Amino acid sequence: MKTRKSITKRFKITKTGKILRRLTGQDHSLAKKPGKRIRAGRKWVRVSKPEAKKIKKLLR
């Protein structure tokens, strides 16, 4: 099975095997959002276990 390139661009895998993603809603319309929320959106968030299982399958 080929690797899904769109998945490789959207997710990071840590050395311990955890999958990280960006927060949603950070692409546009940032002027109406508070700065605290915009800054929080720069961080990487851990993906839930059921989602991580699906993503790992697509990354093989």
Number of domains in the chain: 1
Residue 59 C-beta-side C-alpha neighbours within 13 Å = 16
Predicted pLDDT at 2: 80
Domain residue limits at 12: 5-25+32-59
Per-residue model confidence as pLDDT tens digits over 14-57: 999 999 999 999 999 999 999 999 999 999 999 999 999 999 99
pLDDT at position 18 is 94
